[in-house]
């Protein structure tokens, strides 16, 4: 053991320790932990590798390293993660934002630039805050049933100074959404709990041991919450509104049928970065052909209709008749 620990020697030591404790990415973990304790970016570590560490920095690193060796996700240890263009706080008891959910937001924003959006099961508030941050005049309503999620979402809204455009309500799905908001939203978006109960036991222990089951368990087929969200989304949206939902990769076809039966004839599926069907986009009315996103020509992502052509024609005729 060296007398004085430097950035270089502590990085090496933590990497070795975590490698012996089955961390799949021990170097990256070591960089995250040391950068957090030193209050710098990961790449900045390499600017001053001989910097000596202070006793309090070493003791925090010791605590962090032991926690990481037990499998605790890095995001919980450092208390933050990046999500799209923002940094959000994360805390135990609330799901850590995932890259799939960044794709959910992209897919929704390709469909609509919302002025009013509703985020159900907001968790950390990452979706709601991103929408408000990225769409400057967008007003967002966010709900969650969990005390911890509500507290964290409010903290993130405050920290990002989005208080004037993000409202957070505690309740089961849409229960706490003011009734006079019904029919006003351009976008209803959700990353609900969607892991089929039988799959929960097969998740990586870093997920199953540390992340809240309440935010993951979607019931037998992963669609328990989705089934309740769909009719609510229908009520909450205006006529041209878009419903965007993240789902379990094997559930998209069933989800599409549920949405179609609930009055959303136009649906589109979007894959996540790993190529799994992950997101369902559903609309009551077809998007103007002029506005279709570029990838709509790709067969995977084309609107699927369910006897909807007639309805679409009727809607088009009606709108043309108005002008």
Positions touching ligand GLN (CB under 6 A) are 98, 100, 191-195, 207, 216
Region of residue 79 (phi > 0: left; psi between -120 and 50: alpha; otherwise: beta): left
3-state secondary structure of 201: coil
Which is closer to ligand GLN, CB of 127 or CB of 150? 127
CA distance 108 to 192: 15
What b/e string do you get for 186-218 counting C-beta neighbours within 10 Å, with b at 16 or more?
A: bbbbbbbbbbbeeeeeeeeebbeebbbebbbbb
Closest contact distance (angstroms) between CB of 118 and ligand GLN is 17
Closest contact distance (angstroms) between CB of 115 and ligand GLN is 26
Closest contact distance (angstroms) between CB of 223 and ligand GLN is 11
Which is closer to ligand GLN, CB of 145 or CB of 207? 207
Tokens standing for residue 202: 């097969």
Which is closer to ligand GLN, CB of 15 or CB of 272? 272
Which is closer to ligand GLN, CB of 187 or CB of 247? 247
For 64, 116, 125, 131, the CA distances from 158, given in Å and listed in that order, are 27, 19, 11, 15
Name which of 225, 224, 223, 242 is nearest 233 in CA terms: 242
Which is closer to ligand GLN, CB of 45 or CB of 252? 252
Closest contact distance (angstroms) between CB of 190 and ligand GLN is 9
Name which of 82, 83, 101 is nearest 41 in CA terms: 82
Which is closer to ligand GLN, CB of 37 or CB of 251? 251
| Residues facing residue 83 across a β-bridge | 86
Q: What is the helix (H) or strand (E) element at residue 117, kind and residue range?
A: strand 116-120
Asked if residues 47 and 91 have their Cβ atoms less than 8 Å apart, the reply is: no
Contacts of 207 (CB under 8 A, 6+ apart): 216
Which is closer to ligand GLN, CB of 100 or CB of 110? 100
Closest contact distance (angstroms) between CB of 91 and ligand GLN is 16
Indicate the Cα dihedral angle 123, 147, 178, 187, nearest 10°.
0
Closest contact distance (angstroms) between CB of 88 and ligand GLN is 15
Closest contact distance (angstroms) between CB of 310 and ligand GLN is 35
């Amino acid at each position: 053991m060296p007398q004085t620990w430097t950035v270089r020697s502590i990085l090496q030591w933590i990497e070795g320790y975590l490698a012996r404790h089955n961390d799949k990415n021990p170097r990256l973990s070591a960089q995250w932990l040391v950068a957090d304790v030193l209050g710098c970016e990961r790449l900045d570590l390499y600017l001053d590798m001989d910097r000596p560490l202070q006793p309090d920095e070493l003791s925090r690193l010791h605590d962090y390293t032991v926690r990481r060796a037990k499998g605790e996700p890095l995001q919980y240890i450092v208390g933050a993660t990046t999500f799209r263009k923002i940094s959000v706080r994360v805390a135990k008891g609330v799901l850590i934002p995932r890259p799939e959910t960044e794709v959910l937001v992209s897919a929704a924003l390709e469909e609509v630039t919302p002025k009013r959006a509703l985020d159900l099961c907001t968790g950390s508030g990452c979706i709601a805050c991103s929408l408000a941050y990225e769409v400057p005049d967008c007003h967002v309503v966010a709900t969650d049933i969990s005390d911890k999620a509500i507290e964290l979402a409010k903290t993130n809204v405050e920290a990002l100074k989005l208080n004037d455009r993000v409202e957070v309500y505690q309740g089961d799905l849409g229960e706490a959404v003011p009734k006079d908001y019904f029919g006003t939203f351009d976008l209803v978006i959700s990353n609900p709990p969607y892991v089929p109960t039988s799959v929960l036991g097969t998740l990586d222990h870093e997920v199953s041991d540390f992340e809240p089951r309440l935010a993951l368990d979607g019931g037998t087929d992963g669609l328990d919450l989705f089934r309740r969200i769909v009719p609510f989304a229908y009520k909450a949206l205006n006529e041209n509104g878009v419903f965007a939902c993240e789902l379990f990769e094997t559930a998209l076809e069933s989800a599409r049928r549920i949405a179609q039966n609930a009055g959303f004839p136009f649906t589109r599926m979007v894959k996540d970065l790993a190529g799994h069907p992950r997101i369902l986009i559903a609309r009551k009315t077809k998007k103007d052909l002029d506005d279709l996103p570029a990838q709509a020509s790709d067969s995977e992502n084309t609107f699927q209709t369910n006897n909807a052509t007639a309805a679409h024609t009727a809607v088009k005729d009606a709108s043309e008749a108005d002008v």
